[in-house]
A and B are shown apart, each in its own frame.
Chain A
Amino acid sequence: MSGEQLIDIVLLTLLASTAIAIARLRNLLATAMLTGIFSLLGACWMLFLDAPDVAFTEAAVGAGMSTILILATLCVVNAEEKPSRESPIALVAVLLTGGVLVYGTLDMPSYGDPDAPATTSPITRIYLDSANAPSEQEEGHAAGSNPGDGFVVGIPNTVTTVLASFRGYDTMGETAVIFTAGLGVLMVLAGARHRRPDPSMEIEPEPVDEGPGK
């Protein structure tokens, strides 16, 4: 067994055991900590799969901000999960869904497969060549009917190019999702922020956004 396979197995085992521990523990403080650990292990896993940008984001968001926000929530609610009845129907549903998902992944190409659509499609060449400087691109590019013939971006990091230029519309949607999430949090929790106990204002509706704070 090669070293890489060993790291593979160890990381996935740790991920699975952390997930099982998160599901089984009733103390929510421990669960919050384990969620942070799960995100960190997930980031290591993504780094192992040669995806540093995603690993970066996962580590920063999952192991950093998310843990803080879960702990902040725990300050407001109980620190112990209520005992739930274990139902066999739920177990069957989970096993069925998991089984169908695993059956679906059997159809996916293996990691680094030379026949996979990601490797053989002409668009991959266009994406990867966009990182080259313009002069290199003109000679390395086969003249033909490629739609992106001569498409010059010139930025070394292909992930940023794909994210911000080739798939810029999707990134705009992602930013809009984050914006909406922030808006949702503000609408739900801003009532607690700006509510001042003033008897003369009790009939008026509370404005959600009051401009600059203190």
Chain B
Amino acid sequence: MKNHVILRFVTKLLIPHILLYAFYVQWHGDFGPGGGFQAGVIFAAAIVLYGLIFGLQAAERAIRPGLVQSGVALGLLLYIGVGIASLLLGGEFLDYDALGHDGQHHGILLVETGVFITVASVMITVFYSFAELIRRQ
């Protein structure tokens, strides 16, 4: 994609906005439509767009494959970690009231972050795997 000036320019213009929108959807999911799943997919879409226009190597330099592979597990670990933290603090598994004052709010925030990390990492990992497969062909 060396001589695609228009595509490269528009992509450079748009990717920060897409990433910002992903974070907006993530944190604003408490007040409007949104949440972890949508935000994760939008984040991954920005990275996929970068990979499509600027090449797989550039994308892998920006978001390392090892990082996203650990991200796949980290998100779920965060989710279950919140549950176990509630266990250790005296409540039941995933009982956010045990997380202290305003525990519901904090619990939901952490849990949605875990979902966001897992979904984004899985989408990017799948894209990387497919792209490597195509490249090796």
* A212 touching B64, Cβ below 8 Å: yes
Q: Which residues of A contact B32 (CB under 8 A)?
A: 52, 156-157
A68 and B33 alpha carbons, distance in the complex (Å): 24
Q: Which residues of B contact A163 (CB under 8 A)?
A: 35
CB neighbors of B among A58-114 (8 A) = 60-61, 64-65, 68-69, 72-73, 75-76
Q: Which 5 A-B pairs have the closest CB atoms?
A: A212-B66, A182-B122, A213-B65, A52-B33, A189-B129
B137 touches A (CB below 8 Å): yes
List 6 additional A-B contacts (Cβ < 8 Å) besides A175-B79, A193-B128.
A153-B105, A154-B105, A155-B105, A157-B31, A157-B32, A161-B108
- For chain A, the count of residues having a C-beta within 8 Å of the partner chain is 51
Report the number of A-B residue pairs with Cβ-Cβ less than 8 Å.
161
Seen from chain A, the residues whose Cβ lies within 8 Å of a Cβ on chain B are 52-53, 55-57, 60-61, 64-65, 68-69, 72-73, 75-76, 152-157, 159-161, 163-165, 168-169, 171-172, 174-176, 178-179, 181-183, 185-186, 189-190, 192-193, 195, 209, 211-214
Closest to A152 in B: B104
Seen from chain B, the residues whose Cβ lies within 8 Å of a Cβ on chain A are 25, 29-35, 37-38, 41-42, 44-45, 48, 52, 60, 64-67, 69, 72-73, 75-76, 79-80, 83, 93-94, 96, 104-105, 107-108, 111-112, 114-115, 118-119, 121-123, 125-134, 136-137
A174 and B133 alpha carbons, distance in the complex (Å): 27
* B94 touching A57, Cβ below 8 Å: no
